Structure 1
């Protein structure tokens, strides 16, 4: 019996399977809408809706819109929106532009960030005049950080260094998986990977079920007011 053709066919099948797995691991996520409950000090204060959709020319739009629904946030009519456009480069998101707006009865803030990848230049404008600095490969903005972490976890990464565009420079933020633990949120119970930020004292913890969702099922951040987000629903078109 001549087994060589069979072995060749088997090897070819394995090669195709590995190629398909690699393509899947580095592919952009499918469009989705994720809804979160927002808590402060353990009390519900709002709702956040995160969406991802393609917008053409190889770019995606990733947006986060939060509305105050309880406590002082509701009394002040507080709302915020963050919208990022990114391109898919090397199996990861890379920011093209970022817009932030916060409205409340007593305060308003806004920021526009744009990346010229041909000139390798970032421009940031908070309404007080533009600030420019050099970009870095793989650059993301603060809105896209949780998504970039989730996609890295999906691809098997346990630690990640992200170049993040902030107001006046590129800041390298480092994250690692600190353990696996059960998490209960309105969307259900998950055995989740707990991710911690390791380069700063500001507490950041996020729990992911990366083979199900590219965004966290729970996120807790003390910087900015002891906020917690809990996943309520995740839907794809």
Structure 2
């Protein structure tokens, strides 16, 4: 093979590899969920993923109270994450949490300084600084990281999660396949449970279709359930 065909072959291979790598991470989307607590309607959630075009992505979850006490208080939660893909992990850059009600507001701001490998957290309870770890995610992008891992066939997943005071390893396991009915349709979904903590967390995924769960149940702090209503690629 002469130099010109060889260079052309290498260029084609590199382009194919770049396409293959890009295809392993989710594209931009908007998803909506209905939210309930203890079986009673509580609100709606909108989750979106946006490519910022500079190697960074924005992942946002906005929950608005539309029923019960949440509606009465005008409650809303806004969580915005910025991250970069590190392999197939949404590696954290920042995370902002804001809870607003008629009687109480709560905020938390998390920043990762990758130059110094430090995580800085500020919130209502003060500030914390602790060492970062490569590939860390945070609470908002955790379901997205799980969805990508399940799509790749993983049955057990360990994630380094930046919380208020440290990076902790959270472990999850596929418990089986269950029939799930949600507003978006019927699914034979993989049920994922957290295995390293007593606090109840279960999520049901259809990983061949969506990078997010079709249903999520959180028992810590109340019976909170989210069910997929719609998913729109952008």
Q: Structure 2 length as normaliser, TM-score?
A: 0.90
Aligned mate of 2:185, from 166, 183, 188:
188
Write the mapping of 1:1-237 to structure 2, written as runs, cut at 5 A.
23=20, 27-127=24-124, 129-237=126-234
Q: Secondary structure at the match of 1:105?
A: coil
1:149-183 alpha-carbon deviations (Å, 9 max, x no partner): 00100111111111111111111110010001110
Gaps of 5+ in 2: 1-8
**In 1: Cα distance, 2:202 partner to 2:103 partner:** 30
Distance 1:221 1:52, change over 3 A: same
**In 2: Cα distance, 1:66 partner to 1:38 partner:** 8
Structure 1 segments, 4+ long, off by >3 Å, are none
Q: Structure 1 length as normaliser, TM-score?
A: 0.89
**In 2: Cα distance, 1:54 partner to 1:29 partner:** 10
1:58-97 alpha-carbon deviations (Å, 9 max, x no partner): 0100000000000000001000000000001122110000
**In 2: Cα distance, 1:189 partner to 1:207 partner:** 12
1:178-210 alpha-carbon deviations (Å, 9 max, x no partner): 001110000000010000000000000000000
User: Are 2:89 and 2:137, in contact at CA under 8 Å, matched by a contact in 1?
Assistant: no
**In 2: Cα distance, 1:25 partner to 1:179 partner:** 29
1:8 alignment counterpart = none
User: Are 1:123 and 1:131, in contact at CA under 8 Å, matched by a contact in 2?
Assistant: yes
Gaps of 5+ in 1: 1-11
**In 2: Cα distance, 1:106 partner to 1:129 partner:** 20
Pairwise CA RMSD? 1.8
Q: How many residues align?
A: 221
User: Are 1:112 and 1:125, in contact at CA under 8 Å, matched by a contact in 2?
Assistant: yes
